[in-house]
Amino acid sequence: MARVLITGSSDGLGLAAGQRLIDQGHEVVLHARSDARADDTRGAAPGAAAVLVGDLSSDEQTRALADAANASGRFDAVVHNAGVGSGSAGLLAVNVLAPYLLTALLRRPDRLVYLSSGMHRSGRADLAQLDHPSYGDTKLIDAALAAAVARRWPDVLSNAVDPGWIATRMGGAGAPGGLEEGAATQVWLAVGDDPGATVSGRYLKDLREERPAPGVTDERFQDALLDELARRTGVPLPE
């Protein structure tokens, strides 16, 4: 049995992944941005071990969430699922700064999974644009962060996932993919033990590795990204 934390899991892909892991017998801690949404999450996933609360658009609440997660015990896997879409407030904070901060502040797990997107291919590997990123920029950064962490922490399996275009609140009702399909790869990477699930530094979709945009695998960009995120948050990634 693995112990798994999933951010942004009050609905959509995060909740679907959590429910699937609970059904498999794992200890799952979910996350919601408010007390009201946490109550809804407990009703939707009564088998969850806990539902932690924290608004990831807030630096203070993100740090408090890390403290609460650490106080609950070490996780075997953390799935950085939380995200907001184009035009949303807090795009940089939720999609980029929060997963970095949680990575740096949480007790180091065995596995890390970061939600990227096929839209990362329209993103720019340009830190000068970081104050006003597009959604694609943030998803490229998430994939690059996964690769950077894989290099810095060789004892941790760290990967990025494109869940596909899924019918969620963000993806819209007209999206062709379903929740089970969209959650499958991150569940597999979080707890799977076959060779395909025990890789690191990869970008995957539909249980298969894909080649990401060139900026994702650029080690100079990865290192510059870690330096910039450490500067902005005041929290370096531990060695």
Cite the active site residues.
135, 139
> For residue 157, what is the DSSP state?
E
CB 3 within 8 A of CB 70: no
3-class DSSP state for residue 81?
coil
Distance CA 211, CA 62 (A): 31
Distance CA 121, CA 214 (A): 9
Closest by CA position to 166, among listed 194, 186, 143, 146: 186
The number of C-alpha atoms within 13 Å of 12 and in the hemisphere containing its C-beta is 26
Beta-carbon count within 10 A of 73 CB: 11
Q: Provide the residue type at 131 as one letter.
A: D
Sorted by sequence, the CB contacts under 8 Å of residue 232 that are 6+ apart come out as 97
User: Which helix H or strand E contains 164, and what residues bound it?
Assistant: none
3-class DSSP state for residue 204?
strand
Q: Which two tokens stand for residue 169?
A: 């609140």
Beta-carbon count within 10 A of 86 CB: 11
